């Protein structure tokens, strides 16, 4: 006790390699996303605290005293930054231990059945346990990701922001949405009633059958025909081929006429200016149709 500031500084600087050694020892027990530099900073603070509290008269070597303080500071830092409960971390160690033991015994990575049996749980319960672990992993936005390119990408580069749509994506969405609305509007009357009733109004096949005076199987047939027409009509708007072969047959001619009507329903500027007010319904109910009608 009673060391000068210069003596404290000298002791700290002389034992900085100890921090690196302790970080190396404890880091092997943490997942990869835990920043080793953060561990080193926490360990350095622990070393400073150890230098201030060290009492040489007790006969304990400073290196041993400091190592315990550094290790404790690192563990405290990790616990403070970890939002997952201790039970989840214990579960992670159990799963990892069981997987390593089975891998050693089998000479390969164990499958789900083998893991469930080793843990004494069902496959469904094992899936739930793993889901808890996956949700407990937190990655920083500057965490590096790997892909097939040579670019150095981080999570912030690859994650999409649903609240910030790129202008080109917004225009493409508006155009597709307008094509879809025009295509629905131009369907034969019964097909249009089934599509609007089923996807937008939430009607059941039984209710639509009663309204149209047909059987439920006929409603199902009308729905399939309508979705097929929507897919054909919208994909044709994005078809860049120069083939202009005249349609052959009544069905082909009717389909060609339907495609032409969709194209003529609005010009490119009108498609980009229109918004989701045609049927006065939210966009979400249209998603089932959009998934089928969207061009490949």
Backbone angles phi, psi at 153, to 5 degrees: -110, 145
Give the whole-angstrom CA distance, residue 229 versus residue 252: 11
Q: Say whether both 218 and 269 belong to one domain.
A: yes
For the stretch 188-206, pLDDT in tens is: 999 999 999 988 888 899 9
Give the whole-angstrom CA distance, residue 78 versus residue 30: 9
For residues 204-233, one letter each, b for 16 or more C-beta atoms within 10 angstroms of the residue's C-beta and e for the rest, the string is ebeebbeebeeeeebbeebbeebbebbbbb
Single residue among 66, 81, 96 that ends a domain in this structure: 81
Q: Say whether both 246 and 131 belong to one domain.
A: no
Q: Say whether both 75 and 94 belong to one domain.
A: no
Single residue among 65, 81, 97 that ends a domain in this structure: 81
Which pLDDT score, from 0 to 100, does residue 281 have?
41
Give the whole-angstrom CA distance, residue 238 versus residue 135: 40
Give the whole-angstrom CA distance, residue 219 versus residue 203: 11
Confirm whether 148 is domain-assigned.
Answer: no
8 Å CB contact between 41 and 1: no
Strand (E) or helix (H) holding 145: strand 144-145
**How many other C-beta atoms can be found within 10 angstroms of the C-beta atom of residue 142?**
10
Q: Say whether both 97 and 182 belong to one domain.
A: no
246 lies in which domain range? 167-293
Give the whole-angstrom CA distance, residue 15 versus residue 66: 9
Give average pLDDT by consecutive 10-residue segment, the chain, 296 residues: 75 88 79 75 88 83 87 79 61 79 82 86 82 60 55 61 69 83 91 90 90 92 92 84 66 86 81 54 44 45
Confirm whether 277 is domain-assigned.
Answer: yes
Specify the number of domains making up the chain.
3
Confirm whether 155 is domain-assigned.
Answer: no
Which pLDDT score, from 0 to 100, does residue 219 have?
92
For the stretch 124-167, pLDDT in tens is: 888 877 776 666 555 555 555 555 555 666 655 656 666 666 77
Whether pTM exceeds 0.95: no
8 Å CB contact between 49 and 73: yes
Q: Say whether both 48 and 96 belong to one domain.
A: no
For the stretch 104-118, pLDDT in tens is: 888 887 888 888 888
Backbone angles phi, psi at 154, to 5 degrees: -115, 175
Domain of residue 282, CATH code = 1.20.140
Single residue among 81, 101, 124 that ends a domain in this structure: 81
> What is the DSSP code string of 263-287?
HHT--HHHHHH--S-SSS--SGGGH
Confirm whether 151 is domain-assigned.
Answer: no
């Amino acid at each position: 006790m009673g060391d000068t500031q210069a003596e404290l500084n000298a002791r700290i600087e002389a034992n900085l390699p100890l921090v690196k050694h302790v970080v190396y020892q404890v880091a092997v027990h943490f997942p990869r996303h835990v920043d080793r530099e953060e561990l080193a900073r926490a360990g350095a603070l622990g070393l400073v605290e150890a230098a201030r509290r060290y009492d040489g008269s007790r006969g304990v070597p400073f290196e041993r005293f400091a190592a315990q303080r550094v290790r404790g500071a690192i563990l405290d830092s990790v616990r403070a930054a970890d939002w997952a409960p201790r039970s989840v971390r214990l579960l992670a160690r159990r799963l990892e231990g069981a997987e390593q033991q089975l891998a050693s015994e089998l000479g390969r990575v164990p499958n789900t059945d083998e893991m469930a049996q080793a843990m004494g749980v069902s496959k469904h319960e094992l899936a739930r346990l793993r889901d808890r672990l996956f949700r407990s992993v937190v990655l920083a936005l500057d965490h590096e990701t790997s892909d097939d390119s040579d670019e150095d990408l981080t999570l912030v580069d690859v994650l999409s922001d649903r609240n910030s749509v790129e202008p080109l994506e917004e225009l493409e969405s508006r155009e597709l949405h307008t094509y879809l609305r025009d295509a629905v509007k131009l369907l034969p009357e019964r097909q249009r009633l089934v599509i609007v009733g089923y996807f937008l109004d939430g009607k059941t096949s039984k209710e639509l059958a009663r309204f149209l005076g047909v059987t439920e199987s006929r409603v199902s047939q009308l729905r399939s025909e309508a979705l097929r027409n929507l897919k054909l009509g919208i994909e044709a708007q994005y078809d860049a081929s120069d083939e202009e072969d005249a349609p052959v047959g009544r069905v082909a001619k009717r389909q060609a006429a339907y495609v032409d009507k969709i194209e003529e329903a609005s010009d490119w500027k009108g498609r980009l200016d229109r918004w989701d007010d045609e049927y006065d319904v939210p966009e979400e109910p249209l998603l089932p149709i959009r998934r089928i009608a969207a061009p490949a």
